[in-house]
Amino acid sequence: MVYVYIVMVLALIEYVVLGGLVGYARGKYSVKAPACTGPEEFDRTFRVHQNTLEGLVVFLPGLWFFGSYVSTTVAAGLGVLGIIGRALYAKGYITAPETRGPGAGICGIVNMVLLLGSLYGLIKVVVSTA
């Protein structure tokens, strides 16, 4: 599970970096806290960070359960793919929102595979112990 945990920490680091971009954008576009809106460039950066938080609610438990009940190696690989997808999404959304699709698609597919795989692994445990 150590590889899964490393990927989980990397995903959290990615989230912190995206938060730092929001702080930078606040200064660059003069958006004073607690405001959450401003110029479109700020709004996109803020939205990427918020969307990443929303995605972590699914991604992290899915990664953990998949790694625990299906395969640690596959979970870690999917996790890395998810982190790459999130970076592509962030870059696309911040620079040209119409290009965010591939990154968003990768994240969505990874999350669904993690969740469905986790459910499969958990059901398998329940059936085998019944």
What pLDDT is attached to residue 105? 98
Name residues whose C-beta falls within 8 Å of residue 84's C-beta, 6 or more positions apart in sequence: 106
CATH number at residue 93: 1.20.120.550
Q: What's the total number of domains in the chain?
A: 1
Q: List the chain residues with pLDDT less than 70.
A: none
User: How confident is the model over 8-37, as pLDDT tens digits?
Assistant: 999 999 999 999 999 999 999 999 999 999
At 127 the pLDDT is 96
| The pLDDT value given to residue 130 | 79
Answer yes or no: are the C-beta atoms of 79 and 107 closer than 8 Å: no
Alpha helices by DSSP H, listed for 37-71, are 40-69
Mean pLDDT, the chain, rounded, equals 97
Domain that holds residue 21: 2-129
